[in-house]
Amino acid sequence: MIKSSQVTAFHQHCLAQPDWPENEAALPAGEHKVWEWILANHRYNSLLWAEEDLARRRAVPDSDIAANKRAIDGFNQARNDAAERIDEEILVGLGNVDRSPTARQHSETAGMMVDRLSIMSLKIRAMGAQADRVEAGPEHREACRLKLERLREQCADLAACLDDLLEDMAAGRRYFKIYRQFKMYNDPTLNPFLYGSKA
């Protein structure tokens, strides 16, 4: 079973690679298949983060921003798909756990929590860069340093909650259901502006 410390360390390892996220980082040796999807989720989140920054540009043609927005849609879909696969692999890894009659359902899946840890790692890296940005001035750096401390606290709290959930699931005290995200905006059969344009 995965541990949050492994997940956060892996996220940081990926971000430290010079060619990330264009090229995938190496998976932990001999690890469970879930790591393939943790890697994919983190990579898509990283690509999504970069596209979100690019989409805020002002001094470029609108066609460039439209291309960014389309890329964002694709990466967001892939990121959610990977989070669902994380859930599937975790449930397979747990096997047939005897669920207690008093077991409580958890509203958020483990895959969603891993996804949030990935995003937290990106926020921490970006805020750390701002806290070290000398040309921005001391007030900016101090404000970002305080935000960085808060982000690290949030990440640690979320990691502890993930470990608690997985421990409780292994003991049959808690469970989650995989709820498919059904991203309708990407589906040409569900988005009225896509299927309507064919009429």
Give the ranges where the chain is alpha helix by DSSP (H).
Answer: 4-15, 34-54, 62-94, 110-131, 138-170, 192-195
pLDDT digits (tens, 9 = 90+) for 156-183: 999 999 999 999 999 999 999 987 766 7
pLDDT digits (tens, 9 = 90+) for 49-76: 999 999 999 999 999 999 999 999 999 9
Mean pLDDT by 10 residues, the chain (199 residues): 93 94 79 89 97 94 95 95 95 90 96 98 97 94 97 98 97 90 74 73
- What are the Cα distances from residue 93, in Å, to 16, 41, 57, 66, 170? 29, 18, 44, 41, 10
C-alpha–C-alpha distance, residues 181 and 191, integer Å:
15
pTM of the model: 0.90
